[in-house]
A and B are shown apart, each in its own frame.
Chain A
Amino acid sequence: MQFGELVLALEVVLTFEVLSVILLAAAFGIFVGSMPGISVTLAIALLVPITFFMDTAPALAAVATVAAIAIFAGDLPGALLRIPGTPASAAYTEEAYAMTRKGLGSHILGVSLICSVIGGLFGTLALSFIAPNLARFALSFGYFEYFWLVVMGLTAAAFVSAEQPLKGVISLALGLFLSTVGFDPIYSHPRFTFGLIELFGGINFIAALIGMFAIAEICRVFASGNGGGKVVRGGTNIFRGAGPVVWKYKGHVARGPVIGTFVGSLPGAGADLAAWISYALSRRFSKTPKKYGTGHPEGVVAATSTNNAAACGTWIPALVFGIPGDSVTAVVIGILFLQGIQPGPRIFIDQTTMVYAIFVAFFIANLILIPLGWLAIKASGIFTRISQVDVMSVVLILAIVGSFAIENSVTGIVVMLVLGILAFFMQENGFPIAPVVLGLIMGPLLERYFFQSVMRSGGDPMAFLGSPISVVLATVTLLIILLPIVQRGRALYRQHKHGS
């Protein structure tokens, strides 16, 4: 870190122009993050034409700010309405909502805010200080390692998300299967399209996300006649009690951002996967794993700090190699080119000031997340004064518009409807929803990594365990699968010993 350049960067960023851009971008980020129909990628893409008219520093600061803030904002509808604003919040939506039902809505959002800020700051520091090194390690991930990473993340999602792991696996398999609809990634052969052009592109995961979370929830609210029932938020002081909770689970707060930064820095794996891995690992290391799913902050603490760190981590391969860490950074790379900045190893030499300006912007964004997030949580309190039916009526219109807006086609709305009804019955029968969405997102990646691995292995299955990283990831996957079996076994043994 060259401090001379850092000072220059500070001078560039700490101007009225850039700071006001950051503030506006932050407000935009809160809005975008808390709208389930608007993905962070869409939001950043919408900023591109605006960045044409901006200088480099404000342009990059704006993009960094939106990314950093929106990841937190996705928690707001997740906790209050059980509808995640971004897929990254889906891992702990159920948990946060369970806490809101217990009257701890403000509390969990306050906790989430603090952990998000910590995660984001850690990610920013990691980005600033160790980007090149981390990128070099991330490059040592080949097809096999990627394959195992995705398998591990998906296994975590399946086994952790449901009371009965069997149903979690079914949800995941269903999601993965749905992702195969459309042209296959290797041979471009249409699969399960039944001749419908609309299905050639596959099932859009945002429409699925909206359908499965929003529509199912709307149906549930309307059906249970919760006409007068209000969303209980409870407590006016958002931060009271949040500090002790964060301190209690400081291990997760320490571990979460590390997982987030690392998984985020792997191209293709984003905040969504990172959050799931973190949630699952936190349960593995928890002293009270039984409490997960009942409205317990531990998993939320881990996952929310992870996804904010991951949002920064995705910039590492983007800046250092010009390889996007996720779809957001893919757009960012485009913006960099438009601003005349060439991503690559030389970026730290040729464009040091601008790169440091990005780090400073991330830092500032995570700091203003505190007051802005607090405001957003307070503002979302308006939901307590409105009956759920009213809220859900508006959410329905938003859901329809959101699904339509993805590809400007009615297909999105149809997907939303069909999957929404499916999700309603699934949830009634104990099948978790989030693994379906994760399977939809990760399916094509998993298939591609698998095929590439097979081609690379030349038919030798042992190649899949050829590197130490692969072995570690495969072992962790196995542990996640065996965990419930071991726990069942131990419970049965204890029962037997004490004579039931």
Chain B
Amino acid sequence: MRANDIFAGSLLVAVSLYGIYLALQFPSFGGLGPAFFPLVLLGILLCCALALIVSGLRKLPRQALFELDPWARSPRAVGTLLLIPAAILFYIATARTLGFLVVAPIIMFVLLLWGRGVRRAPISAALAVIFPVAIYWTFAVMLRVPLPAGILRDVRLF
């Protein structure tokens, strides 16, 4: 989804101003304190954001305010887009309790179903188990990354 630069510029102006407000509250420790570097950067950001708004205004006659890619026009596409953050949030919420080897296959299965269609469910299910197991073996067993064991905590794996 492309928005005219005015929106990006305005958002950045707001962020910069808020950041400057926060930074100005840092103590100065006599001399250039911790606020100096962020203030310089926020200043640059602010100037660029204003320039962006100007450039957006100049493009206004020719360019639409909002532009949606063809794919973004369908609700299915928007749903697909939201699927990824939803999957990640689902992982964050449940992985500790359920364990990686439960949550990851669920996520993969849902994604594969969505992408490949319900007809190819059996293969999708197989893939949804094989890959997380392989990844678990690589990272948790070989590289000793403490992926959450969850409900499989008491099961001896590998």
Contacts and interface: CB of A to CB of B under 8 A. Distances in A.
Report if A and B associate in a common complex: yes
Interface of A: 38, 46, 164, 166-167, 169-170, 173-174, 176-177, 180, 184, 186-187, 189, 191-192, 215, 218-219, 222-225, 227, 387, 389-390, 392-394, 396-398, 400-401, 404-405, 408, 410, 413-414, 416-417, 420-421, 425, 428-431, 446-447, 450-451, 454
A404 B45 contact: no
B26 A219 contact: no
A454 B32 contact: yes
A222 B2 CA distance: 18
Contacts of A174: 45
B34 A187 contact: yes
B115 A227 contact: yes
Given A46-B143, A170-B52, A396 B107 contact: yes
A191 B45 contact: no
Interface of B: 1-3, 5, 8, 12, 19, 22-23, 26-27, 29, 32-34, 37-38, 41-42, 44-45, 48-49, 51-52, 55, 69, 71-72, 76-78, 80-81, 83-85, 87-89, 91-92, 96, 100, 104, 107-108, 111-112, 114-117, 127, 131-132, 135, 139, 143, 145-147
Contacts of A393: 108, 111-112, 115
Contacts of B34: 184, 186-187, 189, 191
A192 B23 CA distance: 8
19 contacts: A164-B55, A169-B48, A170-B45, A173-B41, A173-B45, A177-B19, A177-B42, A184-B34, A186-B34, A189-B27, A189-B33, A189-B34, A218-B84, A225-B76, A389-B111, A405-B143, A410-B96, A430-B2, A454-B32
Nearest to A38: B143
> What is the predominant secondary structure among interface residues of chain B facing chain A?
helix
B115 A166 contact: no
Nearest to A409: B146
Contact of B72 (A166, A223, A398): A223
Contacts of A389: 111-112, 115-116
B130 to A, nearest CB: 10
